Amino acid sequence: MSGEPERRGRAGTVARAVGVACAVAFVVLLAYGVVARSPDTTIDDALARRTAPAAPGFRLDVLSSGDPGERLRTLWQRAAQDGRVDLEELRGVPIVLNFWASWCLPCREEAPLLQRGWEAGRRQGVLFVGLNQQDAREDARNFLAEFGQDFPNVKDPSNETSRRWGMTGIPETFFITAAGDVAFHVIGTLSPAQLRAGVAAARGARPLGADRGGEQRPTR
């Protein structure tokens, strides 16, 4: 009989230890979830200090080469010749990088402005690149055809690239200098003034900061 209380005591100790371990694991998982969901603010933090941070890289499949224009055709064709494009292969020219998806209604609102900006930008040697994400390839190409967008586009089937860039949704647009640094970031749909300011910042390698635009949609 004397062993029964001892066994109960050991069982209670084990149960408490298991309970503590489960609680600790829950806290760790909760903390991980918060960190995983929190956007990386590295780019915007640097821009807030009027410092142009290096643009995170990517290497993605070509969705559409469009019409890069005379000044940019050789650069784009060389980068895209294997069917994939590495951002570093586009060094040497200012870039307007726009993240979008065909299911994103604000992206549809923004599309005509981007095309008009591209028609002016390519004559100035500014390369517009669309980065389509979390989208069916056919839907994405139908979107480009519907809005007559003929600047080059790449495709990320997931949202891995957008997470590395610290994005909170789409559309978002980054203006990148010829040296590969981010000069301006607009969160949400662009205004004509923001587009002009961003192109000027990228061309002049002059960091402007980050700015809130219009609507956007969370990534899926």
What pLDDT is attached to residue 29?
31
For the chain, the domains span: 1-38, 42-212
Average pLDDT of 38-57? Answer: 90
Q: What is the mean pLDDT of the chain?
A: 87
pLDDT for the residue numbered 15: 45
Say whether pTM exceeds 0.85.
no
pLDDT band at 136 (very low <50, low <70, confident <90, very high): very high
Could you count the other beta carbons within 10 Å of the beta carbon of residue 141? 17
pLDDT tens readout for residues 48-84: 999 999 999 999 999 999 999 999 999 999 999 999 9
128 pairs with which residues across the strands? 96
Question: What is the residue-wise DSSP string for 72-95?
Answer: THHHHHHHHTTSEEEGGGGTTS-E
Q: Which of 3.40.30.10, 3.20.20.210, 3.40.50.2300, 1.10.645.10 is the CATH number of 42-212?
A: 3.40.30.10
Lowest mean pLDDT among 1-5, 106-110, 190-194, 209-213: 1-5
How does pLDDT run across 91-107, given as a tens digit for each residue? 999 999 999 999 999 99
Residue 37 has pLDDT above 80, yes or no: no
Segment among 6-10, 21-25, 99-103, 129-133 with least mean pLDDT: 21-25
**Rounded alpha-carbon distances, angstroms, from residue 137 to 6, 150, 156:** 67, 16, 10
CA distance to 44, 50, 95, 196, per residue, from 184 (Å): 9, 10, 11, 11
Element of type H or E holding 54: none
In contact, 153 and 174? CB cutoff 8 Å: no
Contacts of 219 (CB under 8 A, 6+ apart): 133, 134, 159, 162, 167, 169, 170
**Over 90: is that where the pLDDT of 5 sits?**
no
What pLDDT score was predicted for residue 220?
78
Which stretch of 35-39, 104-108, 143-147, 174-178 has the lowest confidence by average pLDDT? 35-39
Place of tokens 């570093």: 88
pLDDT of residue 24: 34
What strands, in cross-sheet order, belong to the sheet with 84-86? Answer: 84-86, 59-64, 153-156, 127-133, 95-100, 172-176, 182-187, 209-212
